[in-house]
Amino acid sequence: MATERGLVDTWGAIREERVALADALEGLPDDAWERPSLCTAWTVREVVAHLVATAQMTPPVFFGRMVASGFRFQAMSDANIRRVLAGRRSNANLLATYRSLAGARTAPPGPATSWLGETIVHGEDIFRALGGYRDHPTGHLIAVADFYAGSNLLIGAKDRVAGTRLRATDADWSHGTGREVAGPLVALVMAMTGRRPAADDLTGEGATLLRNRS
């Protein structure tokens, strides 16, 4: 679904990432679902529920729930997770629901690349919590890195990387000017979202600065 420099089909890439995560979760012991993820407020189970909620969301529902939550995004997200889990008592049922939504193209308002980023980043929240690994297609990561580097939507990535030059050591990608931050592209993407453990995979005179902004 991707070329070295960009995506052929963003929604196709989202489907590919969703299927890869669902495959990785197949047969996971129940206790592993309760482990804390890199998204520190949520367990593995709650991250999957969040991804289900996102895949089922539409713009009108999103705006309605934002109003109901007093425009507190985290409160709305937590409420969405509770709704998803209330109807799915078993992890197997939750996983089956997530897998069934792999090809869904419903989402909150926003560019499709932001939802590719959400799928990759939350997937990494889970993979890393479980000690696993996902070799994401380079084109997927480049599309997300380009998007995050130029956007403050929700996660403030553009401001977080200001004053640094990001350089991937495993792909033909770089961004910005300033103190260099170098490392695997997936680690750069995760660090742009404020995941401190991912920032530990980075080197360069700007790495500490980026880590302190996590």
Confidence of residue 2 (pLDDT cuts 50, 70, 90): very low
pLDDT at position 8 is 58
Confidence of residue 6 (pLDDT cuts 50, 70, 90): low
Q: Is 84 exposed, middle or buried (0-12, 13-18, 19+ CB in 10 A)?
A: buried
Mean pLDDT (the chain, rounded) = 94
Parse the chain into domains and list their residue ranges: 10-129, 150-212
pLDDT at position 59 is 96
Helix pair 91-100, 10-25: axis angle to 10 deg: 160
Percent of the chain topping pLDDT 70: 96
Token pair, residue 144, equals: 């997300």
pTM value is: 0.94
Task: Kindly report the number of other CB atoms within 10 A of residue 101's CB atom.
Answer: 18
Angle at 55 between CA 50 and CA 58, to 5 degrees: 110
Query: pLDDT, tens digit, for every residue of 164-195?
Result: 999 999 999 999 999 999 999 999 999 999 99
Distance of CA 13 to the CA centre of its chain: 13
pLDDT at position 19 is 98
Confidence of residue 1 (pLDDT cuts 50, 70, 90): very low
Whole-angstrom CA distances from 21 to 125, 126, 131, 162, 168 are: 11, 9, 14, 31, 24
Query: pLDDT, tens digit, for every residue of 57-108?
Result: 999 999 999 999 999 999 999 999 999 999 778 999 999 999 999 999 999 9
Dist. CA 113–CA 10, nearest whole Å: 7
